[in-house]
């Protein structure tokens, strides 16, 4: 089923092949959806592809890399690979939290991933720490970041 979705996406571009960053975005979205419905084994190769492409094509520390690595951490946690997952989730959480381009909904997603990870790993105190952070996270953006360079 996942392979059929990938093929459909690629065919939707017609004769002009999509840029690999576009493919990576689609695979990241599909991977996240698969993780959410308990299909992490199918999500793993998709998110590995996304991370590899973004790390190769984008500047180190780019928000899209952080986001993909965070989703990869969630995937690994669902697969029971807790130490690997913890490294990714911890290393990406704070930069995502501090980034001006992280929306409140994406930040809450990252916090929910941390809570689920620590619950699955049997670390309820750590899960509770992130539940408190969830309560402190705003529901909306008060100011929009600009993508323009300063003159």
pLDDT per position as a tens digit, 60-98 = 999 999 999 999 999 999 999 999 999 999 999 999 999
Under the banding of pLDDT at 50, 70 and 90, the label for residue 13 is low
Region of 81 on the Ramachandran plot (φ > 0 left; ψ -120 to 50 alpha; else beta): beta
Q: Are 92 and 70 in contact (CB under 8 A)?
A: yes
Per-residue pLDDT band for 145 (boundaries 50, 70, 90) equals very low
Residue 136's pLDDT is what? Answer: 84
User: Considering only CA atoms, which of 50, 44, 130 is closest in space to residue 79?
Assistant: 44
Does the pLDDT of residue 50 top 90, yes or no? Answer: yes
The more confident residue out of 4 and 148 is 4
Q: Which residue has the higher pLDDT, 5 or 45?
A: 45
* Predicted pLDDT of residue 7: 73
Q: In angstroms, how far is CA 108 from the centroid of its own chain?
A: 12
Q: Which of 126, 96, 120 is nearest to 108 (CA)?
A: 96
State which of 5-19, 63-77, 98-112 shows the largest mean pLDDT. Answer: 63-77
Q: Which of 106, 98, 110 is nearest to 72 (CA)?
A: 110
State the pLDDT at residue 84: 97
Whole-number pLDDT of residue 149: 33
């Amino acid at each position: 089923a996942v392979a059929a979705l990938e093929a459909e996406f690629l065919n939707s571009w017609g004769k002009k092949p999509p840029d690999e960053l576009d493919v990576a975005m689609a695979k990241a979205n599909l991977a996240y959806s698969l993780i959410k419905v308990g299909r992490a084994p199918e999500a793993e190769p998709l998110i590995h592809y996304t991370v590899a492409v973004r790390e190769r094509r984008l500047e180190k520390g780019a928000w899209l890399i952080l986001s993909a690595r965070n989703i990869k951490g969630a995937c690994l946690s669902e697969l029971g690979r807790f130490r690997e997952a913890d490294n990714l989730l911890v290393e990406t959480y704070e930069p995502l939290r501090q980034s001006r381009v992280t929306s409140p909904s994406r930040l809450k997603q990252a916090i929910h991933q941390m809570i689920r990870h620590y619950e699955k790993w049997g670390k309820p105190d750590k899960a509770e720490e992130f539940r408190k952070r969830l309560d402190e996270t705003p529901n909306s953006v008060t100011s929009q970041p600009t993508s323009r360079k300063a003159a």
